[in-house]
Amino acid sequence: MTEALQIRPEQFPLSRECPFSPPKEYREIREQEPIARVHLPDGKWAWAVTRHEDVRAMLSDPRFSSDRTNPNFPVMTTGGRIRPDDDKAEKSLISMDTPEHGPARRAVLGEFTVRRMEALRPRIQEIVDERIDAILAGPKPANLVEELSLPVPSLVICELLGVPYSDHEFFQEHTATMVNRLSAAEDRHAALQAIEGYLSDLIAVKEKDPSEDDLLGRQITKGRAEGTYRHEALVAMAFLLLVAGHETTANMISLGTVALLENPDQLALVKADPTKTLPAVEELLRYFTIVDAVTARVATEDLELGGVTIRANEGVLGLSFAANRDPEAFENPDSLDVERGARHHVAFGFGAHQCLGQNLARMELQIVIDTLFRRIPDLAVAEPLERLPFKDEAAIYGLYSLPVTW
């Protein structure tokens, strides 16, 4: 193996070259040394995996652990771990390995089947129409983030879980602090504790009279019937679903809108043929890969990946954005092509930990894209692209605001 590429600590995690492009270093690493050693903000080293084939292989190999309590698990924030007492905390689903991960995931997987998501379609359509009604009745320009991108997934996940939407500003504010890589560790920890405390109190109320009309109530009833129910475990699950369920989709709505407006030929294809919307969603997910390094792992034993020996307890970053721009997996990967057929992307991860809510995310994006451009066909961004406030310092890429007019 050639000498590992050295990336300065202050450069990693790296910023996107432009709103639509990965850091240029991703291409350099992938071409020169596809699995390279990189320096992290906490001073430790980790392996960066950049090829599509290698990222998928890593994510499907049980010898790479998802256990975030492992002191060698890669940390991508300047302030260190979000929990100073990680080893004492209730493990979230994304931090579990075999054998505990399988039963925990199966316990909630039935809530996110295609069939159950399809049952939500009329209500999601209603929510989207209500938000667009409000946009059309309001002033120009409108902030699409505040008026559509955030409210739609927030309303949907709140109704699905049984969380009062009236509290959405509370968890959106704390989520923003948590996903900002530049937030102080104590601020991110305080935000996490605030959301967990809120959910713990909410679940305690539901435990007295669980409803079958929401996911949390159903999980309480099911867990009690099976003798597996634990309050702390449901809090951890609710936290994951609430935070991931609105922040990711909200950012994709904004980014997808900008990308289609910046590529009018691609938007024209979608407008002309609604059957192209779902393939367009897959392509937009690949194109942006807004959660780039959530696919971090730590090796549990010495092993080989892509011809490189990785030792036990070494951290590994599966760089999904680099993988999703790999020309070996996607022809002309830096272009937006809604007819590409990009379903094999790794924007939702891969393997046992592939995103639990991906069916819901796809449906929300499909409904928003179809409805937004049908009802506001002359939609336009009201500011030049270079003036839009992109979330360059956030762990989940997106836009802080998106002024639009029509």
Q: Map residue 351 onto helix, strand or coil.
A: helix
Token pair of 295 as six digits = 């696919």
Mean pLDDT over 175-201 rounds to: 87
Ordered alpha helix ranges (H), 110-230 = 114-137, 144, 151-161, 168-179, 185-208, 215-226
User: Where does the pLDDT of residue 282 fall: very low under 50, low under 70, confident under 90, or very high at 90 and above?
Assistant: very high
* Residues 252-269: tens digit of each pLDDT: 999 999 999 999 999 999
Rounded Cα distance between 293 and 282, Å, is 19
How far apart are the C-alpha atoms of 334 and 26, rounded to whole Å?
A: 13
| Residues 334-362: tens digit of each pLDDT | 999 999 989 999 999 999 999 999 999 99
Q: What span, in angstroms and rounded, lies between the C-alpha atoms of 280 and 36?
A: 32
Mapped onto helix, strand or coil, the DSSP state of residue 53 is helix
- Of the pLDDT bands very low, low, confident and very high (cuts 50, 70, 90), residue 177 is confident
Per-residue model confidence (pLDDT) at position 354: 93
pLDDT at residue 189 is higher than 70: yes
Integer CA distances (angstroms), 206 to 196, 209, 210, 336, 357, in order? 15, 5, 5, 45, 23
Cis peptide before 274 (omega within 30 of 0): no
Q: Which residues contact 75 (CB under 8 A, 6 or more apart)?
A: 40, 41, 42, 44, 81
Give the pLDDT confidence of 192-208 residue by residue, as tens digits.
999 999 999 999 999 99
The pLDDT assigned to 11 comes to 62
Torsion angle of the four alpha carbons 120, 123, 127, 132, in this order, in degrees rounded to the nearest 10:
100
The SS3 of residue 47 is strand
Q: Is the pLDDT of residue 244 over 90?
A: no
CA dist., res. 388 & res. 262, Å (int): 13
Q: Is the pLDDT of residue 79 over 70?
A: no
Q: What is the mean pLDDT of the chain?
A: 91
List the domains of the chain with CATH numbers: 9-405 (1.10.630.10)
Q: Which residues of 81-120 are buried (b: 16+ CB within 10 A; e: fewer)?
A: bbbeebeebebbbbbbbeeebeebbebbeebbeeeebeeb
List Cβ neighbours of 170 (8 Å cut-off, separation of 6 or more).
194, 198
- pLDDT tens, 93-126? 889 999 999 999 998 999 998 888 999 999 999 9
Kindly tell me if the per-residue pLDDT of 240 is higher than 70.
Answer: yes
As given in the structure block, the two tokens for residue 322 are 């680099």
For the chain, percent of residues with pLDDT exceeding 70: 94
Cis upstream peptide for 99 (omega within 30°):
yes
pLDDT at 179: 79
Answer whether residue 80 shows pLDDT above 60: no
Backbone φ/ψ region at 140: left (φ over 0), alpha (ψ -120 to 50), beta: beta
Q: Is the pLDDT of residue 91 over 90?
A: no
Residue 3: per-residue pLDDT: 47
Mean pLDDT in residue range 80-105: 77
pLDDT higher at 13 or 208? 208
Closest CA to 34 of 67, 4, 64: 4
Task: Please give the average per-residue pLDDT across 167-184, as a whole number.
Answer: 83
Does the pLDDT value for residue 162 go beyond 60?
A: yes
pLDDT of residue 87: 53
Residue-level pLDDT at 2: 44
Q: Which residue has the higher pLDDT, 63 or 6?
A: 63
Give the C-alpha distances (Å, rounded to integers) separating 402 from 62, 245, 247, 267, 368. Answer: 41, 20, 15, 18, 15
Predicted pLDDT at 293:
72
| 3-state SS record for 90-116 | CCCHHHCCCCCHHHHHHHHHHHHCHHH
- Looking at residue 81, its pLDDT comes to 60
Q: Which of 163-172, 196-205, 310-319, 343-352 has the lowest mean pLDDT?
A: 163-172
DSSP for 218-241, please give it. HHHHHHHHHT---HHHHHHHHHHH
Model confidence at 1, pLDDT cuts 50, 70, 90, reads very low
Longest dimension (CA), the chain: 62
Supply φ then ψ for residue 279, to 5 degrees: -60, -35
Contact 66, 297 (CB under 8 A): yes
For 195, other C-beta atoms within 10 Å of its C-beta total 21
86 has a pLDDT exceeding 80: no
* Residue closest to 261 by CA, chosen among 117, 384, 141: 384
Q: What percent of the chain has pLDDT over 90?
A: 73
More confident residue, 8 or 271: 271
Contact status, residue 280 vs residue 288, Cβ threshold 8 Å: no
Q: Look at phi and psi of residue 229 and say left if phi exceeds 0, alpha if psi is from -120 to 50, else beta.
A: beta
